[in-house]
Chain A
Amino acid sequence: MKAIDIAKKVNSGEVSALEIITETLTGIKEKNPSLNAFLEVFEEDAIKRAKEIDTLPQNQKGKLAGVPIAIKDNILYEGHVCSCASKMLANYKAPYNATVVQKLLKEGAIIVGRTNMDEFAMGSSNENSAFGPVKNPLDLARVPGGSSGGSAAAVASGMVPVALGSDTGGSIRQPASFCGVVGIKPTYGSVSRYGLTAFASSADQIGPITNNIEDNELVLSVISGEDKNDSTSKPYPKNKEEKQNFTLGVPNDFLVNLELPTAEAFKQSIELFKSKGVQIKEVALPHAKFAAPCYHILTASEASSNLARFDGLRYGYNVKDAKDLEDTYLKNRSAFGPEVKRRIILGTFSLSSAHSGDFYLQAQKVRELIKQDFQKALKEVDAIIMPTTPNGAFKIGEVENILTLYLADLFTCPANMAGVPAITIPFGKDKNNMPLGLQICGNYFDENLLYKIAKLAEGE
């Protein structure tokens, strides 16, 4: 059932929240063992909350009354473990609620569990989780994408109608595309990051993954908004013009060497938009091809600073036999997995005095040029379309070369570097009959326009 229908029925009393949750928990018990999408299910807590919601007066239970929602394991839910799929935080309990969690709870949602992910949100396949990989519900031999792979798999398998993910370079859109569901990376600043474990603060953004656009829109409307606890958050501008006719941009200079199924699906999406009266115009994004290397320099640099806090003293993995404080740091931080260590090392390298000019500072400048490209292009068109990923989901263990894995985010990184919103919807299939995604990138705070445009292609 759609989230929007659950909320209506629970509000009207046609269905109880307890019935919804009981059915959800049964589904999770049945499906999760083969998928490994949930690291923990908050069964008792969810039942208790459902009963509380059922005692509230009709039509006053909230916009998301009784809707079961899964949260990525890097979002804090007070009193519950938040491990970031890392040995480092395996037993860490959240001391407060993330702003997004507070907002969901206020509107009657029920947080049913925390979903698996690439450790500290670093990865594109979910193979970097310390607690085992997630399987793609459409083919258990394949990855669900990452880093929000558990959230995407939980939604695609029908275990929950909604899951929250976080997206720093494509971590909502790429797994949503691999699993054939809808995911949005909202405008940087539109959703509070308070209570989201920081990976790269200048790009991290929370967003919903759902089975359809309507539910996505509903959840984003609940979780977005300015928050005093996140100084980068901003309110949505009022009185945005409601457009009826759209012009979409195609950045041909960026979309070179597309593989055939991806190119074919993308061509079909252009034809579909044309058939619906949408104007198509070529736009230039000359620096977008540098977005993935820029992303890796900047996010690794920020991660090397953000993850410095994990020393295993105040919380987290702790080795008892260290000889002194320095040894304590080294031994405790051995809990990080290989990808996290790799990115901390790369970030420390990029920020070192010998290399910061060529790497970190140059990447900041290139990022600015990428941003300017988008601003210029979005003066000419309402939104820009492109494939979400170069290919569909690959097999678990199939890709060993780290650069190949890093390039899975080739088309998703530009939106993070520019800070603009981008949505993915399922569109087309690859040669293995796995879903492909169509990505629509818009101007700052133009999420409503993105939803409108996406609806034109939904279900095609």
Chain B
Amino acid sequence: METNLQELKQIAKLAKIELSAQEEEKLIKQIASVVNWVEEIQKVNTSALTCVPADFTPKRADSPVHFENDAALVAAFNDKRDSLLKVKKVL
């Protein structure tokens, strides 16, 4: 399978990764070689499997847990006003 430049740009945008033209040139070849290699798995006949096992990760109770050391979390904010996280304008 070939990944084209337009597709790479779209994927990078979705992943919020900014790529330079040089990085794009290198990545497009590398991703293509990795994709060609991992495509091997499509040869495997998986028709006997009816579904992907869903029990791999058991679900925990959907209830909030208070984190004791919240002061350390706030201290790590790169920009803040009092104990609130300050971010750049959204629009």
Contact = CB atoms under 8 A, between A and B. Distances in A.
Contacts of B66: none
A352 B11 contact: yes
B52 to A, nearest CB: 4
Interface string B43-71: 01010010011001111100000011100
A290 B76 contact: no
Interface string A196-237: 000001100000000000000000000000000001100000
Interface string B68-91: 110011001111000001011111
Q: Which of B8, B46, B60, B85 has the most CB of A within 10 A?
A: B46
Interface string B21-63: 0010001001101110111111010100100110011111000
A42 interface: no
Interface residues of B, number: 48
A406 B33 CA distance: 12
A208 B41 CA distance: 32
Given A342-B31, A364-B52, A327 B88 contact: yes
Given A368-B49, A403-B34, A304 B90 contact: no
Contacts of A314: 73, 76-78, 85
Nearest to A328: B88
A445 B71 CA distance: 39
A336 interface: yes
B33 to A, nearest CB: 6
A359 B40 CA distance: 10
Q: Which of A290, A313, A331, A349 has the most CB of B within 10 A?
A: A349
A323 B41 contact: no
A306 to B, nearest CB: 12
Given A314-B76, A324-B89, A334 B18 contact: yes
A297 B3 CA distance: 16
Contact of A366 (B11, B23, B46): B46
A331 to B, nearest CB: 7
Contacts of B57: 201-202, 231-232
Contact of B78 (A304, A313, A342): A313
Nearest to B16: A329
A132 interface: no
B33 A342 contact: no
Interface size class of A (residues with CB under 8 A): 35 or more
Given A296-B38, A342-B27, A290 B44 contact: yes
Nearest to A233: B58
Nearest to A370: B44
Contacts of B30: 342, 402
Given A362-B46, A368-B49, A95 B41 contact: no
B76 A315 contact: yes
Interface in A322-353: 322-325, 327-331, 333-334, 336, 338, 341-342, 344-349, 352
B18 A330 contact: yes
Contacts of A287: 44
B76 A333 contact: no
A342 B12 CA distance: 10
A290 B89 contact: no
Nearest to A307: B15
A451 B5 CA distance: 50
Interface of B: 3, 8, 11-12, 14-19, 23, 27, 30-31, 33-35, 37-42, 44, 46, 49, 52-53, 56-60, 67-69, 72-73, 76-79, 85, 87-91
Given A293-B39, A327-B88, A369-B44, 15 more contacts: A95-B67, A202-B56, A231-B60, A296-B38, A308-B15, A314-B78, A323-B88, A333-B18, A341-B19, A344-B15, A349-B3, A364-B52, A365-B52, A366-B41, A402-B34
Lowest 3 A-B CB distances belong to which pairs? A95-B72, A315-B76, A365-B46
8 contacts: A296-B34, A313-B79, A330-B17, A333-B16, A344-B17, A361-B52, A366-B44, A369-B46
Interface of A: 78, 92-93, 95-96, 201-202, 231-232, 287, 290, 293-294, 296-297, 304, 308, 311-316, 318, 322-325, 327-331, 333-334, 336, 338, 341-342, 344-349, 352, 358-359, 361-366, 368-369, 402-403, 406
